[in-house]
Every structure is written in C-alpha cells, then in structure tokens.
Structure 1
Amino acid sequence: MGARLRVFLTREQDKTLLNLRTTDAPQKVKDRAEVIRLNAHGWYVEKIAAHFNWTPQTVREILHKWQKLGLEGLWELPGRGGKTKYSEEDIVFLEECLKKEPRTYNSHQLAQKLSSDRQVKLSPDRLRRVLKKRGSFGKEPERVIKENKTL
C-alpha cells in the first residue's frame, strides 16, 4: 500500500474553491474543487470516490493535477472533441445564396454547392442541423427561434 495522498490548502485557496460552487463554472469543475476540499479536510481517497460514485483513480488524478497545476488543473484542456469542418464564412455564404437566388435548395443540393464552391464537405444532415440551429432555413434566413415554445 502506497503513502496516503493528501492535499494541504491555504485559507485563500480553500475560500476560492468554496466560491466556485456559486459561479457559473461547469459542474465538473465544481465537483473537482469539492474533491480537493474534502481531501484537504481529511477525507481518504476511497471515501471521496464512494461519495461521488467515482473510481479512486479518478480522485487521485484530480489531486495530482491540483498539486501540479493548481487552480488551472480543474478545467478541461481546450481542443477536446471533434473539430468543425466548416467556418462561419461558409455558412454565411450559403445564407447569401439562399437570399439572392430565386430557386429553393434542399439539404443535399446545399451540401453539393458547399462542396463545389467552397471545398467543404458536410453531410446533408449535419448541414441541415447547423442551418436550423442558426435559424437559417428556407427563404427566411433572418428567422430565429428566440424562446422555447414548451414553457
């Protein structure tokens, strides 16, 4: 059995971690801050892991990141997940085509136009979701859904 992993906090660090609970930080960051505080207050890694329903290794990784990086180690590193294959200019280009040209397009035709004119390959389904999320569909590119209709 290895040595017990223990973190010691200054009063300012403890206060900063406690204040993270009331900010608009992601829930993962709040949980990680709480893990560090619990460890500093004497909780064992296994007890913290049981409390959060995590593995002890996850708790150890959080504590090691805290020791190595400090407050910065609580947040996810940028660049996680898939990268977008299109830029804002590509979508604006399609919106301008929808405004200017008298014809109507379906998602397959828009995907082909984007591929031939801008060399950006997007599936019709993905393109439809992107345009719908922006509120650009049909001949009304400025139409945007501003509030949830289920409220």
Structure 2
Amino acid sequence: MNEAEVFERFTLPDKATYRDACRQVGAVMSELLKATVELRFVSMRDAGLSGATVRYRDGSYVVYCAKSSSWYHRLGILLHELAHVALGHVPVASDTGRGLRQVVPHLPSGVMAILAGRSCHSEDKERAAEEFADQLMARLTEPRTSDVPELSAHALRVAEGLAGPHRHG
C-alpha cells in the first residue's frame, strides 16, 4: 500500500489539530489491521525507542508512543508505526526484554519482549517506514486550500468600483 492510498483513509477537517490527526492514525491502523487498535502514550525516556506496535493474543493491538508535550512529535511517531503496518512489517518478538524492563518498568512483560525485538527490524525496513511516514506527514500537515468560488460578474463590477479609477501611464 502506498502513502496516497493510506492518506485517502484520513478524514480530517480543515481545522484539525495534530491531536486530532493522532486519533485518526489509530482509526486508520484499526481499519488496515481489521482489529481494535488502542493508542497509549507512555514515558519512554532512555528506552532507545519512541514507539512500537504490539499485537495481543486476542487479536487487538496497542500502539505505544512516547509521551511528548508536542502532539506534532507524537504524530510523527504514530505515522512511523502506521507506515510499518502499511508496508506489511510484522513486529518481531524476542525472548525476554529484560534490558528494557529497567528503562520502562511500567510496561507489561509481554510488551517488553516485543519492544526488545523491535530493534530487529532491518535498517532497510526502518528507513522505508521513516520515508513513508515523512510523506504522510507532509500530506497531512501541508496547508489545505479550499476551492475559491469564481466571482460573479456583478461581484467583479463591485470589486472594480471599490478599487477606484484605473490610471493609465
């Protein structure tokens, strides 16, 4: 799936905030995965990662995203996770994740195992996800222009009258 196809799934109003866009990422991921997707913003300081998508045994997903005061930053992280899904990258599970437990002890142990394996994504997959996320970010954050209706002949005459007399040099 390419970024244009994913972008078309977003239904954001013109005045949407980054926070609104974050919520929409969860909805789009849910649609693509055909499963329940929950977004959780957690402290991941010193964890060496900023986000991860975890699939639970019941088929639901949780996207863990670094808790940042900037919704723009959170959006970038979530779009990266969405990119992995759109590109068909499957989260890799490792044996334990004990090292991460010391950094982010509040996460469930099953999540720790998956987060530990997260670093097993190849550099190519990470680079592809980052490029995909960057393209989505550009599409989502570029200024939206609405179609400006053409002025009627009457409105044009009024506008010309308000502009004052034309001076020819």
- Quickly name the TM-score band, shorter chain normalised: under 0.3
Larger Rg: 1
User: What TM-score does the superposition give when structure 1 sets the normalisation length?
Assistant: 0.22
Question: Larger % of helix: which?
Answer: 1
Identify the structure with the greater strand proportion. 2
TM norm structure 2: 0.20
Higher RCO, Cα 8 Å, sep 6+:
2
